[in-house]
Structure 1
Amino acid sequence: MECANQISFATWRLRLFQQLVAPHIHHIRTRHSSRRISTSTSSRTDSADSVPPSKRLPQSPLLTHPLNKSQRPPKLRPDREYYKQAFDELNKNPWALALASPPRLCSITGARLPRDLLGEWGLVEQPETEQLYLLPVGLLKDSLGNDPQSPPASSSPTRQLILRILDFMPLLKSLSGPWVRVGRGKKLVLPRILPYRWKHPQGPITSREESLMAWRDDAAEFTLHHMRNEVVKSLDKACRKFKRLDGSGAVWRDLELQDLSNIALQKALGSLEPFHRMACGAVLVCSSQGAENETQEAFMGAVSLPQTQSKVPVFDLSVLLSETELQTLQDSHPHFHHAALFFRPRDEVSNEAMLSLWKIKRFLAVEDEPDSLAEA
């Protein structure tokens, strides 16, 4: 059974659209202003309409009146020179390079930090005892050679399995107690930090190798020693490559200090002539002999730079390095005979020197003073 005056939905929609948009052009009869309900399942076409209703809908002027190629607006091209200059500036900024490194997971704390702020740790075999010690292999590349580990801590002899761990002295000291093997039959805590894909039977590390894993009691002091060696080595490379002191494009600039205090350091920075990328630099205090404890603590923070209205970090080498290592730098390069230096990196070698200083400063940050770690 079919109701009278039945009309298809497409026709009813088109006519209603025409009535709303252009009622003065298309006259719609009153009897077709509403759609009747039909129970018939057979399809019905409107013989009066030879063109489908969907084809008679208004079309976009972009289709009906396309523009010629000469009339089209030119496509905006990126300013390559602008982007090249911007990337060149970022490649010379050690802080931008460190923070832009891909995030990685700390195997101990579970925190996600930029890769350059985490230390590289791996398993190294002790030939005498055959134990696998977890050591900072990122700082032992020269001593370990090309093949950092001959044992089966890697599925390939040329590939080292790496764990990312936050280099923070209070953290490493807190791990020394519960991670050391204290007796027979005790379950080791150290293998728990290994990723699941490394463990037996899916991974390259066998169950026997897991039982041979060990942690040094002096892991914090061991890491600090090699971190200091890395700082001396990187500063030595930067001094050999950039020997000039002061000048328009110099990496090193001398700061004349009246005394070893934060106020004197502020005055010395204010007397510097502004130069390009000044905010990317840092202050190196080469000698703090005779300074009071309060002055030494002030040197461990950051100091305001009046030329850029920003802060730059201060690295007190007498605190970050031992007396022997500082004396080695002073004997090798005359740069460190001055009381303080302003260091502004400009290439990969100088960037590595700046980041090595930044890492050791964060490593020595005090646990109960979170501001010291945040500033570093």
Structure 2
Amino acid sequence: MSSSQDVAQPRAPSAAATKEPKNEDEPFKVDPVNKKIETAVGDLPLSPVMDPSFWEARQRYQTPKAKPGKAQNSVERQFRANPFAKALATPLRQCSITHQRLPKFFLQDFNLIQHPETGAPWWVPRSLMRHESHVAEHPDKEEISEAIQKQEAAINAEKDVTTTPPENEEEGKASVVADTDTSKAGRPYGPSAYALARKDLFAAFKTEGSGFMNSHKRLFGGSSSRYRIFGGRAVWREDMDTYILDLMRREVVDHLLYLSRLCVEQARYYIVRCYGWDDVQHKHKGALLWFQNETEGEALPGPFATFDTHTRNLQGENNPVTVAVHNMPMLLGDEQAARLKSEARVFGEGSIFMLAGRRTADLQANLWRLQGYLADYRNMP
């Protein structure tokens, strides 16, 4: 047997290292409290490599957080089912245009991506395109650095030479890489920029005399000069206001079609038909979806319309409840509203429907956000 086996060898820290040795032949024992190692020849200082507390502190935050489980109490259950509370609980961010600080839910985030052919930076509404394959979640740092260098070189070159108008005026109006039928991947770079999620604000970016003409160049106003150069020269879609509207509508319609399939195929009750306004009080309390029915001669629900009803508590007392009423043809447009009525069986008959259950909370929040994106506050009392 080799004589090297008689020499005490360092060991990786473990739970057993903090306990008393099992027998007298144990070469040493670790005392993490006094930060020393007790050996046959005397006490030695404890190395951090062998200190269990060192490893515990180093690995403390390496364990991934557990996914959110079921609600533990009634307050948490009510919060998860309340789309308005969840919206107000989102982190605060500042609008780069108005400098107002609001929950992120009320703002639209923008990122820059590189055009796959020209390499020019384009503004895209990132959160509305999170399911698109062309927006990479982890951009390559080398490609970002190379794109920045190319853009800065182009800026310097334009300062030295006289620019000539392009032969083809449509050359600079190529479709944005954000289109869903684009096969090449555009990679986002730079920090996110935020602006109020308002259609009239984005339309004013391209309207002379609006006071916000070309305000998209100030989206990176509070960022470093490196990205401010990009923000000032990035391409902004002429139809960005309607493009964002189409993405928001598409997200709502897809969600409604998905819930409709669950209702039909799995007998779920996420979308419930109401047989008139008097029937609303007998349903679960969620947002109301109103589809125009000219034969009923009803008044059209306006922006931010609500319906007052009540529910009973455990003591049998009536508690007032106010639910939002969404005019679906106005929010989604006649074409998308007609698509829902034709493709979703739950909307086949009737004109008033209610969203029910915690699973519809995100959909109710998106409807509310879409309502705020389109609303004209100037005519509101």
TM-score normalized by the length of structure 2: 0.58
- Superposed, 1:115-134 pairs within 5 Å as 115-127=104-116, 129-134=118-123
C-alpha distance in 2 between matches for 1:210 and 1:282: 39
Whether 1:225 and 2:234 are equivalent positions in the alignment is no
Name the SS for the 1:304 alignment partner: strand
TM-score normalized by the length of structure 1: 0.59
Name the SS for the 1:226 alignment partner: helix
Name the SS for the 2:371 alignment partner: helix
Residue aligning to 1:175: 205
How many pairs were matched up?
Answer: 260
Distance 1:369 1:332, change over 3 A: same
One-letter code aligned to 1:306 = H
Q: 1:101 aligns with which of 90, 108, 115?
A: 90
Q: Could you list the per-position Cα deviations for residues 220-274 of structure 1 after superposition, in whole angstroms to 9, with x for gaps in the alignment? A: 111111111111112123223344899xx833221113xxxxxxx3x3324x26x
Is contact 1:302–1:313 with CA below 8 Å preserved after alignment?
A: yes
Is contact 2:95–2:101 with CA below 8 Å preserved after alignment?
A: yes
Please give the root-mean-square deviation of Cα atoms over the aligned residues, in Å.
Answer: 3.5
C-alpha distance in 2 between matches for 1:240 and 1:161: 38
Residue aligning to 1:351: 361
- Superposed, 1:1-376 pairs within 5 Å as 84-127=73-116, 129-147=118-136, 152=144, 161-177=191-207, 189-200=215-226, 205=227, 207=229, 209-210=230-231, 212-243=233-264, 250-257=269-276, 265=277, 267-270=278-281, 272=282, 278=285, 281-289=286-294, 295-298=299-302, 301-307=305-311, 308-337=319-348, 338-347=350-359, 350-370=360-380
Deviation at 1:314, TM superposition (A): 0.5
Deviation at 1:357, TM superposition (A): 0.8
Unmatched segments (≥5 aa) in structure 1: 1-80, 181-186, 258-264, 372-376
Deviation at 1:190, TM superposition (A): 3.5
C-alpha distance in 2 between matches for 1:83 and 1:103: 26
Larger mean Cα displacement after TM superposition, 142-151 or 318-327:
142-151
Unmatched segments (≥5 aa) in structure 2: 1-69, 149-186, 312-318
Name the SS for the 1:235 alignment partner: helix
Larger radius of gyration: 1
Is contact 2:303–2:375 with CA below 8 Å preserved after alignment?
A: no
Identity %: 20
Name the SS for the 2:191 alignment partner: coil
Residue aligning to 2:174: none
Is contact 2:341–2:347 with CA below 8 Å preserved after alignment?
A: yes
Deviation at 1:142, TM superposition (A): 3.1
Distance 1:88 1:110, change over 3 A: same
Deviation at 1:160, TM superposition (A): 6.1
Name the SS for the 2:206 alignment partner: helix
C-alpha distance in 2 between matches for 1:109 and 1:211: 17
Distance 1:95 1:206, change over 3 A: closer
Is contact 1:288–1:318 with CA below 8 Å preserved after alignment?
A: no
One-letter code aligned to 1:232 = V
Deviation at 1:91, TM superposition (A): 1.5
Distance 1:255 1:352, change over 3 A: same
C-alpha distance in 2 between matches for 1:86 and 1:363: 30
Distance 1:206 1:85, change over 3 A: closer
C-alpha distance in 1 between matches for 2:326 and 2:77: 26
Is contact 2:218–2:231 with CA below 8 Å preserved after alignment?
A: no
C-alpha distance in 2 between matches for 1:179 and 1:120: 25
C-alpha distance in 2 between matches for 1:245 and 1:298: 34
Larger mean Cα displacement after TM superposition, 135-144 or 283-292:
283-292
Name the SS for the 1:306 alignment partner: strand
Residue aligning to 2:175: none
Residue aligning to 2:19: none
Residue aligning to 2:160: none
